[in-house]
């Protein structure tokens, strides 16, 4: 028997009311399924918002956490942390980067990146004014003040002004506008290879190539926010590999620990060297437990999971496109790998609630965009089951319309 209502009532009394939580209490998960407090099961095509890429309760990650928790969970960066070194080595060996810094979340990683590029400008002699960071329109980089200032969606800004100065928005996927904005005042360009909270909108190759060329010409860092796209979500370990364009700095989080909180800031040596002792830090950043979970996640993803996810992404996209052909209110299916969205012209909340009732978790971006980000271990049968549920919910929406 569910005690959801009593939990929700108590939450309304003691929690900040800054989330629009759906009426569902999830108590456990395994693979691509979760169960509520009444033991009803659901296919999870939200994955904690693209976090549990290996699925819930993956044995390799659980084993790493249990073993590490029995040895050492925290010691601080006053001392060398072996697990941190191992994780940094793996990420450096599998990316463009030379060095890694660890923190606890995506927004922390972005804060670190903002500080790093400004410190880089300072070290280059721009002592009075470090310059302007170019960011894309409709971007989302986090909710702390630096990351929020880099986020170009006004609805997140209301009530928090004044934001930090030194950011300038340029239209996403407009290479000409980007080039026109890249004057001698810029100190970095920060972009998402695929805009996540902007609606799962991939960048064009031309746009990213233009950004790379401009940053090289100006001698400033190109920063990629791969918090949502990293760790195999788009069909490659990192989304930048899909475009053949390497950044100088990259931020990761979400799927890096498969649900255990951990973020990372990666950079080339010439940029990373700008952080010297005392310039940046995090008490819990790179703790042994987080790094053990992340290393197990990385090693498991690389063992065929990403390739499987790419195949399942092609399958899921095809099925979504078939549904779009049947339901006129679906205007577009877009994305890469298992990072997919269906743009609609209707309020998606009734669809989401109907899916929950039928046993499928999906969510919406900006009200009218359905997002599909199942674990990379999802199977063909699970995709078929999910699309059957979605079809029923879409039919009900058509009846409402």
Task: Tell me which residues are annotated as active site.
Answer: 140, 225, 254
Joined together, the tokens standing for residue 320 give 């979504």
User: Residue 385, Cβ neighbours under 10 Å: how many?
Assistant: 15
φ and ψ of 230, to 5 deg = -70, 170
How far apart CA 158 and CA 139 sit, in angstroms, is 16
φ and ψ of 26, to 5 deg = -90, 130
In the block, tokens 């609609």 appear at 344
Q: What CA–CA distances, in Å, run from 50 to 164, 189, 332, 376?
A: 28, 24, 21, 10
- Looking at residue 234, the DSSP 8-state letter turns out to be T
How far apart CA 292 and CA 68 sit, in angstroms, is 7
Joined together, the tokens standing for residue 175 give 């290479």
Best CA proximity match to 60, nearest among 258, 304, 256: 258
Per DSSP, the three-state class of 26 is strand
How far apart CA 156 and CA 36 sit, in angstroms, is 31
What is the β-pairing status of strands 41-44 and 360-361?
parallel
φ and ψ of 150, to 5 deg = -85, -10
How far apart CA 187 and CA 24 sit, in angstroms, is 45
How far apart CA 19 and CA 13 sit, in angstroms, is 14
Q: State the first-to-last Cα distance of the chain, in angstroms, to the nearest integer.
A: 35
């Amino acid at each position: 028997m569910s005690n959801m209502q009593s939990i929700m009532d108590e939450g309304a009394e003691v929690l900040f009311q800054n989330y629009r939580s759906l009426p569902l209490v999830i108590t456990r998960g395994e693979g691509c399924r979760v169960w509520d407090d009444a033991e009803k099961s659901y296919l999870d095509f939200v994955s904690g918002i693209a976090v549990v890429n290996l699925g819930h309760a993956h044995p390799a990650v659980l084993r790493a956490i249990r073993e590490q928790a029995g040895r050492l969970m925290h010691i601080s960066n006053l001392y060398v942390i072996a697990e941190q070194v191992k994780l940094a080595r793996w990420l450096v060996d599998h990316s463009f980067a030379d060095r890694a810094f660890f923190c606890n979340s995506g927004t922390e990683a972005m804060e670190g990146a903002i500080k790093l590029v400004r410190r880089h400008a300072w070290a280059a002699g721009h002592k009075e004014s470090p310059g302007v960071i170019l960011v894309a329109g409709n971007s989302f980089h986090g909710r702390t003040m630096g990351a929020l200032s880099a986020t170009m969606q006004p609805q997140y800004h209301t009530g928090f002004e004044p934001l930090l100065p030194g950011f300038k928005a340029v239209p996403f996927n407009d290479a000409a506008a980007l080039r026109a904005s890249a004057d001698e005042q810029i100190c970095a360009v920060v972009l998402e290879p695929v805009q996540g909270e902007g609606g799962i909108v991939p960048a064009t190759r031309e746009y990213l190539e233009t950004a790379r060329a401009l940053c090289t010409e100006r001698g400033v860092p190109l920063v990629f926010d791969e918090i949502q796209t990293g760790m195999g979500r788009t069909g490659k370990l990192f989304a930048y590999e899909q475009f053949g364009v390497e950044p100088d700095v990259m931020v990761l989080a979400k799927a890096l620990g498969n649900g255990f909180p951990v973020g990372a800031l990666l950079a080339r040596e010439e940029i990373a060297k700008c952080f010297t002792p005392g310039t940046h830090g995090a008490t819990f950043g790179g703790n042994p437990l987080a790094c053990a979970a992340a290393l197990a996640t990385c090693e498991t993803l690389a063992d065929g999971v990403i390739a499987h996810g790419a195949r399942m992404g092609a399958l899921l996209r095809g099925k979504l496109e078939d549904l779009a052909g049947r339901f006129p209110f679906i205007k577009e299916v877009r994305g890469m790998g298992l990072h997919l969205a269906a743009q609609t012209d209707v309020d998606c909340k009734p669809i989401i609630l109907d899916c929950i009732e039928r046993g499928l978790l999906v969510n919406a971006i900006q009200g009218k965009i359905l997002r599909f980000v199942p674990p990379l271990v999802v199977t063909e049968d699970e995709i078929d089951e999910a699309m059957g549920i979605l079809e029923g919910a879409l039919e009900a929406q058509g009846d409402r319309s």
